[in-house]
Amino acid sequence: MTSATRLKQHIDATLRDPRWMQMRQRDRSADGTFWYSVRSTGVYCKPSCAARPALPENVAFHASREEAERAGFRPCARCRPDRVSETLRYGIGESPLGLLLATVSEQGVCAMLFGADEHALEADLRRRFPQAQLQRDDTALRATLAQATALIEHPERAFAGPLDLRGTPFQRKVWQALRTIPAGATASYKEVAARIGMPDAARAVAQACGANALAVAVPCHRVVRGDGALSGYRWGVERKRALLAREARA
């Protein structure tokens, strides 16, 4: 059998394999069921990897990470297939400011997201936690959602449960500083930068506010521009205005 014939057979077998289509569609539901390697790059990936699609002649499928590594491939630096995925549970409920999604890990609440559409909320959650296995469980998250909603109705209360703050050391320092701003008060980005001992980092503080995944529990809505005007808010300036108005009346 010539090398050209072997190559053609390999390509034909790859294209007939149902895993090929799952790989091309970047099917997240297939993550953990198989891995694929790319001969031209020397790496192996998860089915959902966002890297440029590989050619079928370069692809091989593997039943496990270990099998791919025994074949001489290294983990892709983009999708990190060697990392064990954690499971995050989430629920979606109604709030005075639209739909609210809450997500919990073993360490605590790791996301509270506002939105107007369930599919958009779930897409935002997948983008924030690309390595996680996500399980929707509205019943199990009912108490967390109720507590998050209570923060909107009674902003003077602090979130009582544990929070799983995920970010860089700088981001976590900013988020902790935001939690010290009392309801009914605001601070400028420059003032927050000064509070964390980095007075020249106002722009970086604004970026950390934008990266916050815990709406209301980490009150980034209480940070305003130096002139007191409302600036951007991840979940819309109107929600920011509504939250501040509620807190002013509390």
CATH classification of the domain holding 141: 3.30.160.70
100 within some domain: yes
Does residue 131 form part of some domain?
yes
> Do 209 and 223 meet the contact criterion of CB atoms below 8 Å apart?
yes
Residue 110 among the catalytic residues: no
Burial class of 37 by CB neighbour count within 10 A (0 to 12, 13 to 18, 19+): buried
Q: State the pLDDT at residue 157.
A: 83
The pLDDT value recorded for residue 134 is 93
Which amino acid is located at 81 in the chain?
A: P
pLDDT at res. 84: 67
The whole-angstrom separation of Cα 112 and Cα 145 is 9
177 in the same domain as 146: no
- Asked if 66 and 126 sit in the same domain, the reply is no
Q: Is residue 160 part of a domain?
A: no
CA triple 126-132-134, angle to 5 deg: 70
The whole-number pLDDT of residue 221 equals 95
Looking at residue 41, its pLDDT comes to 95
Q: Are residues 94 and 59 in the same domain?
A: no
- Residue for token pair 């983009």: 78
Instruction: Report DSSP state, residue 162.
Output: -
In this structure, the strands spanning 74-75 and 35-38 are: unpaired
CATH assignment of the domain containing 181: 1.10.10.10
The count of structural domains within the chain is 3
Query: What is d(CA 36, CA 112) in angstroms, rounded to the nearest whole number?
Result: 34
| 59/73 Cα distance (integer angstroms) | 12
Q: Is residue 164 part of a domain?
A: no
CA 184 and chain centroid, separation: 29
CATH of the domain at 27: 3.40.10.10
Cα separation of 105 and 165, whole Å?
Answer: 11
The catalytically annotated residue of 45, 49, 76, 79 is 45
Residues 182 and 240 in one domain: yes
Residue 239 counted as domain residue: yes
Task: Give me the tens of pLDDT residue by residue for the chain, a chain 250 residues long.
Answer: 788 888 899 999 999 999 999 999 988 777 878 999 999 999 999 998 999 989 999 999 998 889 999 999 999 999 989 876 688 999 999 999 999 999 999 889 999 999 999 999 999 998 888 778 899 999 999 999 999 999 998 888 888 889 999 887 889 999 999 999 999 999 999 999 999 999 999 999 999 999 999 999 999 999 998 877 788 888 999 999 999 999 988 7
The confidence score (pLDDT) of residue 3 equals 83
Return all residues near 13 (Cβ < 8 A) that are at least 6 apart: none
Q: In which domain, by residue range, is 140 found?
A: 87-153
How do 133-136 and 109-115 pair as beta strands?
A: unpaired
Q: How far apart are CA 27 and CA 91, in angstroms?
A: 22
Residues 71 and 93 in one domain: no
| Statement to judge: residues 183 and 133 lie in one domain | no
Domain-embedded: residue 162: no
Instruction: Indicate the SS3 state at residue 213.
Output: coil
- Residue ending a domain, choose from 48, 75, 102: 75
Residues 182 and 230 in one domain: yes
As beta bridge partners, residue 34 has 31
Catalytic entry in 49, 76, 110, 220? 220
Are 10 and 52 part of one and the same domain? Answer: yes
Does the annotation mark 79 as catalytic?
no
Q: Is residue 102 part of a domain?
A: yes
The strand pair at 74-75 and 59-62 is best described as unpaired
